[in-house]
Structure 1
């Protein structure tokens, strides 16, 4: 009975020793509405890559457009808007007429790279000789000596590139 009293008393003392931690109130500030504007354009007549885009956002409303010249020569223009009330809406227009043949793209010549020959690697594992004799403690005979030999044939490894191949 006294043990129970001591246990309960010690728990009460321990609980009273724990300081109360004040609970801090964290005030959350509402985030400011998003606002940005950007635009870019590319006009590379050598490759035929002609495109542009612009976009602006104020809060949840997004307004923008992009345009590009398709491979058949037609200029595609897309104007779009997006907001919480109406969702995403796009208007697509085409200007010009398709050409008879798609535009041919001129590519710059690719540099040719010569690779040095690959070194041949040969590997031979060391030969291990193992001899074992059983202990003679309570045996009347000695086990025969076993000879174990291990070797591998030389490996031929090659690697070549730019078309990747590997031989072993």
Structure 2
């Protein structure tokens, strides 16, 4: 069902973009299904099955007409998640965020802003 919804949204997005000129969007998803591991509980007759979570994804949008320019990437291996995202903000600055999270240290994000200085030409 989610694939059908995604395809429908993608079709609507493509139709909308065709009326506005050049725009670019891409994505990549890799899922790595691990082997199931049996985790024994206190009750020896009960078994929980656990799969080691592992994935990575990235996407990018560049729409010159609307100014919507952003990207994100993330990968997870077990309980460790690392990633980042970048976007152009309405004031012209760029926000860059790199983050990581794990069971030992929690979630940490490094946020940086950059601007492009415009030098006016005097005639």
d(CA) in 2 for partners of 1:35, 1:59: 6
Supply the distance in 1 between the matched residues of 2:97 and 2:117 (Cα, whole angstroms). 18
Aligned length, in residue pairs: 75
1:87 matches 2:106: yes
- The equivalent of 1:39 in structure 2 is 58
Match of 2:79 in 1: 60
Stretches of 4+ aligned residues off by more than 2 angstroms:
none
TM-score by length of 2: 0.56
Question: RCO (CA 8 Å, sep 6+): is it higher in 1 or 2?
Answer: 2
Larger Rg, first or second structure (1 or 2): 1
Give TM-score scaled by structure 1 length. 0.41
Shift of 1:30: 3.8
Q: Which residue of 1 aligns with 2:115?
A: 96
Deviation at 1:96, TM superposition (A): 1.7
Gaps of 5+ in 1: 1-24, 100-168
1:52, distance to aligned residue in structure 2 (A): 0.4
Counterpart check, 1:69 vs 2:77 = no
Name the counterpart of 1:117: none
- Tell me the alpha carbon deviations over residues 64-119 of structure 1, each in whole angstroms, 9 at most, x when there is no partner: 000000001111100000000000000011122477xxxxxxxxxxxxxxxxxxxx
CA RMSD in angstroms, aligned pairs only: 1.8
Deviation at 1:48, TM superposition (A): 0.4
1:74 touches 1:97 (CA, 8 Å); kept in 2?
A: yes
Tell me which protein shows more helix as a share of its residues: 2
Counterpart secondary structure, 1:85: coil
Q: Distance in 2 between matches of 1:74 and 1:98?
A: 10
Deviation at 1:26, TM superposition (A): 4.4
Say which structure is richer in strand.
2
